[in-house]
Chain A
Amino acid sequence: MAKTIMIVDDSASIRQVVGLTLKGAGFDVIDAVDGVDAIKKLDGVKIHLLITDVNMPNMDGITLVQEAKKLPAYKFTPMMMLTTEASDEKKQAGRAAGAKAWLVKPFQPPMLLAAVSKLILP
């Protein structure tokens, strides 16, 4: 059975590129446009990985990771930040929130898949 990954990004083109890369590798994908939308769509749905942007309207990615980690169903779900932000301060904030990896956009599809395969245990 295919594993499910949630993509959270306010940019439609990024959602499409990430979705295409992951679907091509055999994953099921759920889209969300910001943190609030993501929390609404999670609602107990089983996901194997959450990939989120940092700078988004309504709720940013770091807050989303913090909020999602508070939910029992997603306490142990791996989460990865996919963002244009590259500063060490932000990375440390992401790590403190509970993210397991940080990938700076723009990304090469093989790089994303390498990160995903390390975060999702077979």
Chain B
Amino acid sequence: MQITLQNKVLFYSLPTVVGSTVALLAFWSGGLSLIHGSTLIGLLTASGLIVGHILYKKMQMAIAYNLEQQSNENNVVMERIKSSVMPLEQLLVDVLPIILNQIDMSKEHTEQEIANLSERFAAMTTKISELNSNQAQGDEEYSIDALLKGSKAILNGVTGELNALNEAETKMINEVRQLSSFTEDLDAMAQGVRNVADNINLLSLNAAIEAARAGEHGRGFAVVADEIRNLAQASSETGVKISKTVNDINVAMAATLKSAEITSETDGESIQKSESYIEKVLTDIESTLNSFKAHADILTEGNEQVQQEIYSVLTALQFQDRVSQMLEHAEHNLQDLYDVIDSQKQIALVARDPESIQVDSIMGKMELRYTMPEELLHHQASISGEEVTAEEETGDDLTFF
């Protein structure tokens, strides 16, 4: 507190006026002579001046003391402010670069790991695509229907050939059977030869009797008749031989026919069995292959689902790009904060200009830096103190110009 000029006049004039007034009143009442009155006024005025001066000095000393006290207190407060602000500034200046480095390091690590993950997922989808493509190519090249159709055609060809052989065998049996009917004719012919020979023999016998009856004249005829009888006997024996041979042939043919018929029957049964076996085997193969195909189809479907899942993962991994950009903006914002604190730290507390930190300008600069709506949303919510509402899904928005 300063003592103003008015205060000073007041201190000096008040006792003087009081002293002068008392002396004047005494003089006015007639109790004092002019000399005494004047002396009293002079004395009282002088006393007032002295008292005023003493009072003024006391007051001045009290104020000086108060000022000193105030100054001391201010110094203590200042020291306290210094001791709290300076370490805080120092802490921020020390910590902010560490946080910046850590953000940067985290960003690098995340990006590197996400890149590795993307690469692995990409390799997986490539493998799955290759598998699906091979599967499709295999399906095309080795179609089950075509395979079975081909196999069936080949095996049907084999059974057809076997049936043809069987038919040829049956035809041969029929021909042999027809041949045996000819041997009966041969036997009848042999019987006819024997009958003719018997008749000739009878005739030759009659001729011999007639030759004997003719006597000498019939001797030559007797010789002829004898020769004819010999011939008839030989013919009869040949007829018997033919009959026997035909009989032997018949027996052999019957045996051959029987054997051939048995073989043909067995062959027919075998061919029928083979056909049924072939049919069964082909059905079994078809069912097994269809089962394989069903499994392969399930596998293909599964592969496609896995591929879709991986695509979803790859889409989700793209959020790293957004996070990376947000971290970069956070880094820049922290760097701005660091720059402000570092520049302020260089200036003594008492010499600092409160206008040197343009909060609105700094905040505006931060806002301009954002590239994603959610960043702006969080920034503005932070300023207004409102809660951030649930964010809408962003991305996948396509615009053509």
Q: Which chain A residues have a beta carbon within 8 Å of chain B's beta carbons?
A: 9, 11-14, 16-17, 19-20, 24, 54-55, 83-87, 91, 94-95, 99-109, 111, 114-115, 118
Contact = CB atoms under 8 A, between A and B. Distances in A.
B159 interface: no
A13 B315 contact: no
A106 B319 contact: yes
Nearest to B324: A11
A16 B396 contact: no
Interface string B88-125: 00000000000000000000000110110111001001
The 5 A-B residue pairs whose C-beta atoms are closest, nearest first, are A106-B318, A12-B115, A104-B397, A20-B122, A16-B118
B396 A106 contact: yes
B150 interface: no
Contacts of A20: 118, 122, 125-126, 314
Contact of A101 (B319, B324, B399): B399
Nearest to A57: B328
Interface of B: 111-112, 114-115, 117-119, 122, 125-126, 129, 311, 314-322, 324-325, 371-373, 394-401
A107 B315 contact: yes
B372 A84 contact: yes
A117 B5 CA distance: 92
The secondary-structure label for the interface of chain A is mixed
Contacts of B315: 17, 106-109
A65 to B, nearest CB: 11
B351 to A, nearest CB: 39
6 contacts: A13-B321, A84-B372, A85-B371, A100-B401, A104-B394, A108-B396
B397 to A, nearest CB: 4
Given A20-B314, A108-B311, A109-B314, A101 B398 contact: yes
A85 B71 CA distance: 57
A118 B320 CA distance: 28
A55 B314 contact: no
B393 to A, nearest CB: 10
B226 to A, nearest CB: 116
A111 B319 CA distance: 17
Contact of A104 (B126, B320, B395): B395
Contacts of B122: 16-17, 19-20
Contacts of A111: 396, 398
A19 B118 CA distance: 11
A55 B401 CA distance: 20
Given A24-B129, A55-B325, A17 B318 contact: yes
A91 B399 contact: yes
A55 B328 CA distance: 11
Contacts of B400: 100-101, 115, 118
B106 to A, nearest CB: 15
Contacts of B115: 12-13, 16
B318 to A, nearest CB: 3
Contacts of A105: 318, 321-322, 395
B373 A86 contact: yes
Nearest to A104: B397
B119 A16 contact: yes
Contacts of B317: 13, 17
B318 A13 contact: yes
A94 to B, nearest CB: 8
A102 B400 CA distance: 6
B315 to A, nearest CB: 5
A82 to B, nearest CB: 10
Given A24-B125, A86-B373, A108-B311, A102 B316 contact: no
Contact of A84 (B111, B117, B321): B321
Contacts of B372: 84-86
B394 A13 contact: no
Interface hub of B122, B316, B399 (most chain A Cβ within 10 A): B399
A53 B92 CA distance: 35
Nearest to A83: B371
Contacts of A54: 371
